Amino acid sequence: MPVPQLEDDKIRVIRWDFEPGAETGFHRHGWLYVVVPMMDGTLHIEFPDGSSTEAQLKAGVAYSRPAGVEHNVVNAGPGPLSFVETEVKAWPG
C-alpha cells in the first residue's frame, strides 16, 4: 500500500495504492499534509469516536489537512484508488 517516494528533513512523500475495501488502519499525522489523488474515487474516513464521513476525490485536485487528526481511510469505491500524500515536517527557511 504505502510506497515511499521521497523523504528529507522537511517533507515526506508517499504514494498510496488501494484496492476496493483496502484501508490504512487508524493513524495520526504528525505534520500538516497535502493529498493529490491520481484518479477519481471515494474515501470512507472513520474516526476513533465511531463517526465517519465520505470524501469524493477528483484526479489532480489536491486537499490538505492539519496535523493531529486520527483516522482510518478506506477505499469505498468499486475500483482501485491511488493518491500521493506529502507531509510537511518543517517550513523552508
35: which 3 cell numbers?
493529498
Per the domain annotation, does 93 fall within a domain? no
Per the domain annotation, does 62 fall within a domain? yes
CATH number at residue 36: 2.60.120.10
pLDDT tens by residue, 26-78: 999 999 999 999 999 999 999 999 999 999 999 999 999 999 989 999 999 99
State the residue range of the domain holding 55: 2-88
Whole-angstrom Cα distance, residue 33 to residue 24? Answer: 15
Q: Which DSSP state fits 48? A: T
> Model's pTM, two decimal places?
0.89
Per the domain annotation, does 14 fall within a domain? yes
Q: Looking at this protein, which amino acid is placed at residue 57?
A: L
Distant-in-sequence, close-in-space partners of 29: CB < 8 Å, separation ≥ 6: 65, 67, 68, 69, 87
Whole-angstrom Cα distance, residue 37 to residue 47? Answer: 21
